[in-house]
Structures are given as C-alpha cells and as structure tokens.
Structure 1
Amino acid sequence: MEDSSIFSVLLPAALGIIMFGLGLGLTVADFRRVARFPRAVLVALFCQLLLLPAICFGLVVGFDLPPALAVGMMLLAASPGGTTANLYSHLFGGDVALNISLTAINSVLAVFTLPVVVNLSVAHFLDGADGVGLRFDKTLQVFAIVLIPVVLGMFVRARALAFAERAERPVKIASVLILLGAIVGALLQERERIGEYVADVGLITLLFSVISLGIGYGVARLARVGHGQSVASCMEIGIHNTTLAMTIALSPSLLGNSEMAIPAAVYSVLMFFTAAGAGFALRALAPRTASVEDAGTTAR
C-alpha cells in the first residue's frame, strides 16, 4: 500500500466527524454512570487494556507475521472501541448507555496506553528502528482530533438538544461515507495487491475479531455481569476504532507506514460480519440467560 495524501485528509476528517457524532449523544451523566456499573466497567477495561494486547501478541508470534504487519496488529489491539459498537449493542440487546460510557473512557485512556503498546511493539518486532514509533506529543495531536470533537458535540447537545438529536444521524452517515471513501480509495489504489494483503492478515484478523468478541462477553459473564451489560462489553471489546488505527499508521507525523495500516483495513471489513454473527448468537442465548438470572434472583 503506497502512501497517499488522500488518507492524511480523509481519515482524520472521518475520525473527527465520528467523534463529534459520539459527543452529540453524550452527557456528563454518561461519565458519572460508571459508578453505577463498576464491575462491568472494570472487566471491560481489563479486557481492552491488558488481555487483548497480550492475546494479540500471542497470535502475531504464532503466525510469524512480518514486522510491520505485526506492529499494525498490535496497534489495532491497542485501539479503543469504536462508535459502531453502540449501534450493534442497540441492535442485539446490549446496555447502550454502558457502551457510550466505555467508548468515552477508553478513548481518553488510549491517549496514554496506545503509545506504550505501539512503542513496545516497535522495539520488539522492528528492533527499535530509528524514526519509527509514537512520540507522546505527536500522539496528543491525533487524540485532539478524537477528544475535542467529543467535547464540542457534548457542548452542542447541552446548548441545543433538539438540534443535536436531529444532527446525530446525518453526522453518523457523513462519517461512514467519508470512511468508506478512504477505504475504497485504498482498495482501488492497491487493487493488484489486495489478494496478497488478505492472504497475509485475513485469517489472523478474523481470529482476533472472533476472540475479541468472545472475550468481551465471556469474561464479563464469568465476572457475573448481567447479560445486557455483557453484550455491551462484547461489542465494545470486539469492535475497535479502525479509523483511529489507520490514521495513526498512515499519518506522516506519526508512524507514517502504510503497511501497518493493512491489519486495521482488513479488520474494518471483517468485523461487521463477525460482530453480527456474535449478536445473533447472543440474541438466541438471551431468553435462556434471562431465565437463569431470574431463577437465581428468586432463589436468593
């Protein structure tokens, strides 16, 4: 994949619009809500910040990926949940309020955790190659694109609720169209090597997606988190912010390595199908789960 200025414009634009759309649906109460769901939040953060990078590292080593692709996979694993998780959670019976809170908190924490994971990965897989890595001050520039639009969206919602509710859907559609434009542009530009890229990372990204979704739900249930909140955890952990990962990989002032963006690009397509499959499976499981939880409540 060759570097192109189109990505340095479209991807940050898509990221900013996506996060502004998230802000339009957020209030300060969404952050306070965390205190009501401490176990669910702690489980999700444990999976996102510690468990997933460790599992991804094992997959990367097991598949013996080329160094740049290995770093790209670790970048993907370290990226926070995406706003698409909110939609999937809504469709499949998850606690959307918890999703919104987790997305906001993960996006803030990633300012500190993502550079650590990526720089350790560069040191390990690329032997600390000169000029490759994330400087904290440069990373802050990217997360300014993430956090400032969120704050602006929250401000608009607080000042003009009716406008925010009307604008939320068009903003989401615009962000999806811009993101699709960037992905289509990448595919057209690299159409001769698409098969090679899929062969390189198709299976590992598919496995990572399935494992992420399974961990998000399974670990939450093991921690005795309710079904709806576990579905929210599943989608939050299983649907990463690929726009952020691709922006960091492609930006000349950050990693500036288009090969590192390949895992996120492939994953961004596969995750829609794996997340839908997980959602239908969990929807089928919901009646039985609810019955068991009700029986446990009655017994107590």
Structure 2
Amino acid sequence: MTIAELISKVFLPLSLAIIMLGMGMTLVPSDFTRIFKYPKAILIGLTNQLILLPLIGFSLAVIFNLSPLMAVGLMILATCPGGPTSNLITQVCKGNIALSVSLTALASVLSIVSIPFLLSIALNYFGIETDMAIKLPVGDTILQIMVITVIPISIGMLIRRFKTEFALGLEKTMRIASTIIFILVFILVFAANLDSIAKAMKEVGVVTLLLNILTMFVGFLSARLFKLDLKSSISITVESGIQNGTLAIVIAYSILENVEIGIPTLAYSIWMFITGGILMWLMSRRTFAELKENDL
C-alpha cells in the first residue's frame, strides 16, 4: 500500500470517524426531528446538491471548452454528494450540524440513482463512447456513510445523553482537535499527491476553483433568499461546495477505469481544503450571540 493509499483508505476515514464521534456529542435527537418537521432547509440543500451543482459543472465545462475527459471528470465532481469532511467544516464554522449530517446522508443515498443518470448524459454529450454501465458501489457507499458518519455520531449522541457534562466539557476541545486534524489531512494529501496535483492545477485549476466558489455562493444565496437562519445557511453553503472526493475517485478509477478523468478531483480537493479552511477561520471567530443577531 502506497503512502497516498494509506492516507486515503486508513488515516482519513479513521480521523473523520473520530471527529464525527465528537460531533455527535454536541447533538440531541430534537436537532434532527426539528429539521424533518420543517423540511424547507433539507429541500433547498438537496436542490442545490442534485440539480444546481451539476448544472453549474456542465456550464463551466462548456464555457471553458474542456477536453472530453476533463469535462466528464468535472461532471463526476458536480454529481457527487457531500462527504464527512463537509460535516467537519460545518461543525467548526458553527453551522447547523444536524442539517449537514442529514443532507450528506440523504444526498449520498439519492446519488445512487442520480449519478449514473447524469454521468450517462455527460458521457454521451462530451463524446466519450463506453459500453460500460455506470453502476455505483451501493454497498460500499452505504457502508461508508454508516461507518464514518452514522455510527460514530450515534455513539456520540449516546454519550451526550448519558454523560451530558462530560460531552459539553469536551465541545471546545473537539472543535480545536477537528481543526488540527483538518490541517494535517490537507498537508498529507498535498504531500502524497504533489506531482499529480501540479498537473491537475495546470490543466483544470481555474475551472475547478470556479466550480467550488460558485457552488458555495449559490448555496448561501439560495438559503438566504428562502430566509433560512445563518446556521442553516452555513450548512447548505458547505454542503454545496465540499464534495465527496473519495467517491469521485472511485468512479473515475474503478468504474470508468480512466486515471485522466480523476484529474479534476485532485485539483478540486486542494481548492476544497483551502476554501473550507478559510470558511472555518472566518466563521469560527463568530460567537453564538453574533450568530443569533444575524438571524434577527
């Protein structure tokens, strides 16, 4: 196993699972029931993730006249749901964690249908001929959601339920630890893929940065237009711009069996960490009182 594989297959999932455990200790069941009782935020988030994001990706591929392989690679990114990293960034940004987790889970399940449909259209439009049926690893996708997200968060919520003072006492520590782990993961991913990232930035650096910025901007704008509170708007912004890079790589490398198609994902991953880090730095400085004041 190479260093890059060790980071992506062992260190990153383990780190995210630990972070999700800490995140669960900040949640109670009513955080989730409230979301589904008033589902406007969920519907806006899913509309951004499943419809607007692919439309933005497709538009950029056409405007920049990308090569067929790069265009399909960009579309893979645009059709992928958010991943556990989006939940981490939302937590540090003091967004609505329950909404972020719910959107990640729902979009991941729905993407089992949406990704094959949208990618089949993209492959046909951009002129890549393939007889291969695009079938996502349903079992692996669900297992990833369960092991990295649902189970650790559930354990954290149980700790919050039965050891409330302990859980509340760790909240600040876990937020700091999450930030440190995020920085370490970024450094390790960058170092392990240095040569590939340099090539990716040269070929699709600008268009992937635009995809990242535009999707987050549209996410925030749509949330505010529909009068969602700031915490929910932060969650939708992050979910719109932080994609599941692991799933994108699996589709490019394992399903479509083309390393070149995975190049946009490498470039996007770097921008994703940078813009996510900036959001974490800016939003984590805000106090709870400021967040409430913004929603008055």
**Taking structure 1 as the reference length, what is the TM-score of the superposition?**
0.72
Q: How many percent of aligned residue pairs carry the same amino acid?
A: 26
Q: Which residue of 2 aligns with 1:119?
A: 116
Q: Which residue of 2 aligns with 1:152?
A: 155
Query: How far apart, CA to CA, are the structure 2 residues paired with 1:127 and 1:151?
Result: 44
Rate the CA distance shift 1:76–1:192 in 2: closer, same or farther, 3 A. Answer: closer
Q: Which residue of 2 aligns with 1:249?
A: 249
Q: Which residue of 2 aligns with 1:100?
A: 97
Q: Which residue of 2 aligns with 1:269?
A: 273
Query: How far apart, CA to CA, are the structure 2 residues paired with 1:71 and 1:47?
Result: 20
Corresponding pairs, count: 277
Please give the per-residue CA displacement for 1:203-242, whole angstroms capped at 9, x wherever unaligned.
123212221232123223333x1553564355344442x5
1:190-209 alignment to 2 at 5 Å? 190-209=193-212
Rate the CA distance shift 1:114–1:255 in 2: closer, same or farther, 3 A. Answer: farther
Rate the CA distance shift 1:141–1:55 in 2: closer, same or farther, 3 A. Answer: same
Give the stretch that moved more between structures: 145-154 or 266-275.
Answer: 266-275
Query: How far apart, CA to CA, are the structure 1 residues paired with 2:51 and 2:236?
Result: 15
Q: Which residue of 2 aligns with 1:5?
A: 5
* Secondary structure, counterpart of 1:149 in structure 2: helix
Query: How far apart, CA to CA, are the structure 2 residues paired with 1:128 and 1:172?
Result: 45
Rate the CA distance shift 1:5–1:236 in 2: closer, same or farther, 3 A. Answer: closer
* Residue pair 1:59, 1:204 contacting (<8 A) in 2 also: yes
- What amino acid does structure 1 have at the position aligned with 2:137? R
Query: How far apart, CA to CA, are the structure 2 residues paired with 1:264 and 1:24?
Result: 31
Structure 1 unmatched ranges of 5 or more: 91-95, 281-285, 295-300
How much has 1:185 moved relative to structure 2?
A: 3.1
Q: Which residue of 2 aligns with 1:62?
A: 63
* Secondary structure, counterpart of 1:79 in structure 2: coil
Rate the CA distance shift 1:274–1:114 in 2: closer, same or farther, 3 A. Answer: farther
How much has 1:31 moved relative to structure 2?
A: 0.9
Work out which of the residue numbers 234, 237, 252 in structure 2 matches 1:235. Answer: 237
Q: Which residue of 2 aligns with 1:39?
A: 40
Q: Which residue of 1 aligns with 2:20?
A: 19
- What amino acid does structure 2 have at the position aligned with 1:55? I
Rate the CA distance shift 1:199–1:8 in 2: closer, same or farther, 3 A. Answer: same
* Residue pair 1:40, 1:233 contacting (<8 A) in 2 also: no
* Residue pair 1:40, 1:230 contacting (<8 A) in 2 also: yes
* Secondary structure, counterpart of 1:5 in structure 2: helix
Work out which of the residue numbers 122, 134, 137 in structure 2 matches 1:135. Answer: 137
* CA RMSD of superposed structures (Å): 4.0
- What amino acid does structure 1 have at the position aligned with 2:49? Q
Rate the CA distance shift 1:130–1:265 in 2: closer, same or farther, 3 A. Answer: same
